[in-house]
Amino acid sequence: MAAVTISQAEYDKLVRGVEKADRLEKEVGLLKAMLRLMRLEKYGKRSEKLSDDQLELLEVEPGVHAGEVETEAEIVPEARPVRVKDHAGRNALPAHLERREEILSGAERMCPCCGEARCVIGYEEKEVLDLEPARYFVRVIKREKLACRKCPEAGVVTAAVSGPKIVEKGKLSDAVVVDVLIKKYASHLPIYRQQADLERDFGIELSRSTLNAAVLSAGELLLPMRDVLKADLLAGGYIQADETPVGVQSAETEGRNHQAYEFQYSRPAGPAVFDFQMSRSREGPARFLKNYGGILQCDGYAGYDKVGAPRMVRAGCMAHARRKFNDALKVDPQDREAAAVLAIMANLYAVEKEARENTLSQEERAALRQDKSILIMRELRAKIEQVALTALPASKLGQACTYALKQWPRLLTFLENGRIEIDQNLCENGMRPIALGRKNWLHLGSEGAGYKIAAILSLFATCKRLGLNLRDYLNDVLPKLPDWPASNVADLSPLRWRPS
Mean pLDDT throughout 109-130?
84
Note the pLDDT tens digit of each residue in 450-469: 999 999 999 999 999 999 99
Mean pLDDT throughout 57-80?
42
Mean pLDDT throughout 229-240?
97
Between residues 106 and 235, the one the model is more confident about: 235
Confidence of residue 291 (pLDDT cuts 50, 70, 90): very high
Note the pLDDT tens digit of each residue in 146-200: 788 888 777 777 666 667 788 888 889 999 999 999 999 999 899 999 999 999 9
Note the pLDDT tens digit of each residue in 396-440: 999 999 999 999 999 999 999 999 999 999 999 988 888 777 766
What is the per-residue pLDDT for 435? 78
Between residues 202 and 57, the one the model is more confident about: 202
What is the per-residue pLDDT for 62? 39
Confidence of residue 292 (pLDDT cuts 50, 70, 90): very high
CB contact burial 190-218 (16+ within 10 A = b; e otherwise): bbeebbeebeeeeeeebeeebbbebbbbb
Between residues 229 and 449, the one the model is more confident about: 229
Confidence of residue 111 (pLDDT cuts 50, 70, 90): confident
pLDDT at 121 over 90: no
pLDDT at 225 over 60: yes
- Other beta carbons within 10 Å of 363: 10
Confidence of residue 500 (pLDDT cuts 50, 70, 90): confident
What is the per-residue pLDDT for 17? 80
Highest mean pLDDT among 37-41, 113-117, 154-158, 321-325: 321-325
> Which of 110-114, 401-405, 441-445 shows the lowest mean pLDDT across its residues?
441-445
pLDDT at 297 over 90: yes
Between residues 343 and 22, the one the model is more confident about: 343
pLDDT at 326 over 60: yes
What is the per-residue pLDDT for 76? 43
Confidence of residue 491 (pLDDT cuts 50, 70, 90): very high
Mean pLDDT throughout 476-499?
93
What is the per-residue pLDDT for 417? 94
What is the per-residue pLDDT for 57? 41
pLDDT at 302 over 80: yes
What is the per-residue pLDDT for 249? 81
Highest mean pLDDT among 28-32, 201-205, 349-353: 349-353
What is the per-residue pLDDT for 35? 73
pLDDT at 59 over 60: no
Give me the residue spans of the domains in the chain: 214-315+427-492, 318-423
Q: Under a CB-based contact definition with an 8 Å cutoff, are residues 188 and 433 in contact?
A: yes
What is the per-residue pLDDT for 70? 43
What is the per-residue pLDDT for 330? 87
Mean pLDDT throughout 227-243?
96
Between residues 110 and 38, the one the model is more confident about: 110
> Which of 68-72, 102-106, 277-281, 398-402 shows the lowest mean pLDDT across its residues?
68-72
Sequence-separated (6 or more) residues with CB below 8 Å from residue 221: 166, 478, 481, 482
pLDDT at 489 over 80: yes
What is the per-residue pLDDT for 18? 77
